[in-house]
Amino acid sequence: MNLGLKDKVVIVTGGAKGIGEAIARLIAEEGGIAVIAGRKEADNEKTVTAIRQAGGKAFGITAELGKVEDCRKVIDLTMKEYGKIDGLINNAGANDGVGLASGSPEKFMASLQNNLSHYYNLAHFALPYLKATKGSIVNIGSKVATTGQGNTSGYAASKGAINALTREWAVELLPFSIRVNTVIPAEVWTPLYETWIHSLPDPEAKLKSIVSKIPLEKRMTTSEEIAAMTVFLLSGVSSHTTGQIVYVDGGYTHLDRSIS
């Protein structure tokens, strides 16, 4: 499908690995320009190089997104390089395990800073340019905001806030034809997920237990499946869709997981 993304400039935070990388690659495959923003320059450049070698267009910006000034830098450098912004995909974040008992007030606030603040900051700084292009915003959330998980208060609060901001921004930005939606993954095999599963006492048994509870086909969602929905919502093909929280999770969140 031609999603009409040719030469559209789209910022993808955390675009060097996992879900973000799959999104950046698909934007480039659709003819868009993927601006990859993340904290590790080497990771950013590796993905940028791979996209360019495949015939796509990409640009890397090294930024610590928990810092306000770095969020401003991402927007400023994108405008300097391309002169416009057509889309923003807020994806960067990590389930950092800051729990109610195991965390602290300081760790909780740091988790919000790392997982939530840049969603607002980037959208705020990009807003004048998104108004000019009637661009769109897609946020990547998490099923944790709906289901809970335990021992991850900071991450859960951040992801719950992202759902709320999606609908708040969708209303605020109606006069400018800027659409805002969120994609919710559940169990997706990414480098971060792999690190987490291998931190457990019996990774193989835990993974088998998780997969057995995913209703559709008893398998994990792929990063490419998350990317497909994200880029669709970003594009003009979904031109009358805004304020939506879309679950791409094989039915994990809302279907009865006792289904055999």
Distance CA 48, CA 67 (A): 23
Count of other CB atoms within 10 angstroms of residue 164 = 12
DSSP 8-state secondary structure symbol assigned to residue 120:
H
Q: Could you give the residue numbers annotated as active site?
A: 155
Sheet holding 136-140, edge to edge: 57-62, 33-38, 9-13, 87-90, 136-140, 179-185, 245-248
Strands 179-185 and 245-248, by their bridges, are parallel
Distance CA 234, CA 241 (A): 10
